[in-house]
Amino acid sequence: MMDSLAAAPMLTYIAAIIVGLVVGSFLNVVIHRLPIMMDIEWRAHCAELAGKATESTGEGEPYSLWRPRSRCPLCRRPIRAYENIPLFSWILQKGRCRGCGERISLRYPLVELMGAVVSVIALWHFGPTPAALGAAGLGWALLAASAIDLDRQLLPDSITLPALWAGLAMNVFGVYAPLQSAVVGAMAGYLALWLVYWAFRLITGKEGMGYGDFKLLAALGAWTGWQQLPLIILLASAVGAIAGISLILFRGHGRSKPIPFGPFLACAGWLAVLFGPAISGGYLRLTGME
């Protein structure tokens, strides 16, 4: 199969774009519904512990990634299949609901487009190989996790933990790093931010980050190996600092208002999967350390 894909590169890229757009459309569902599903589950657990009946969601049917059907949040009109074609439906509808004319957020086509970009970059870098498929899968998961973190300041375990195990599974075969390095990377990734968290809390009495950040860096360490963790932390911290200062100076962002760190970790981690050894090697050569 890989030989067939390599023999028709144009068709392979077209297929990657289509798959990426479709996955991006599904990621929009995950980004919107997963936090709601988690809230429903938390309320059910609290009610169970309190010995109370579980509160109804008011929907009259189970709520999951698959049910109920997608609908306009304003007029509640179900979205038909031809209105749900990734990217193109948003363009043809001029970014508005066909029923009530309510504006559809630009985030939906952007996530779909980014899903396609992730798959194309992974294919371009690794070629039609299992490594490309794994990198694309990780990129899609990080895209969903980043969007949820931006919306809710939350990194769901249902994304970060499977990503961790998937990284270890890929590296059983040494796809991105030796297995021993991946296992140490998972442990060191969690421990590094855990130590930063507790040091900051002991010094300031405040929580500087959430436990989801620990798990996300552990997952990235499982994919890249421990050797790339300094690069990931450095890139994420640098970009995060620039973004934070820019928000404060140009957008009036309150200094006490938290800025999610997950998207910066996710971006740095995916770059490390693709270009980590090249970036690290270039830095060592530039500084004369190699």
Question: pLDDT of 8-25, one tens digit each?
Answer: 788 999 999 999 999 999
Whether 167 and 219 have beta carbons less than 8 Å apart is answered as yes
pLDDT at residue 100 in the model = 86
Shared domain check, 165 and 122? no
Shared domain check, 29 and 96? yes
Shared domain check, 2 and 123? yes
pLDDT at residue 290 in the model = 57
Domain range for 70 is: 1-128
Whose CA is closest to 123, among 110, 136, 114?
136
Shared domain check, 85 and 32? yes
- H-type helices in the chain, by residue range? 2-7, 9-50, 88-92, 107-126, 130-152, 157-171, 179-204, 211-224, 229-250, 262-286
pLDDT at residue 57 in the model = 46
Q: Is residue 255 included in any domain, yes or no?
A: yes
Count of structural domains, the chain:
2
Domain termination site, one of 93, 128, 163: 128
pLDDT at residue 56 in the model = 47
Shared domain check, 290 and 163? yes
C-alpha span between 81 and 90 (Å, rounded): 13
C-alpha span between 86 and 47 (Å, rounded): 39
Q: Is residue 263 included in any domain, yes or no?
A: yes
| C-beta neighbour count of 38 within 10 angstroms | 16
Whose CA is closest to 272, among 116, 138, 148, 124?
138
pLDDT at residue 45 in the model = 86
Shared domain check, 178 and 106? no
Q: Is residue 139 included in any domain, yes or no?
A: no
pLDDT at residue 254 in the model = 63
Q: Is residue 148 included in any domain, yes or no?
A: no
Whose CA is closest to 135, among 278, 275, 28, 280?
275
Shared domain check, 110 and 222? no
Shared domain check, 277 and 173? yes
Each residue of 156-178: pLDDT tens digit? 999 999 999 999 999 999 999 99
Whose CA is closest to 136, among 162, 156, 152, 118?
118
Query: Global pTM?
Result: 0.89
pLDDT at residue 73 in the model = 77
Shared domain check, 179 and 124? no
Residues of the chain with pLDDT under 50: 56-59
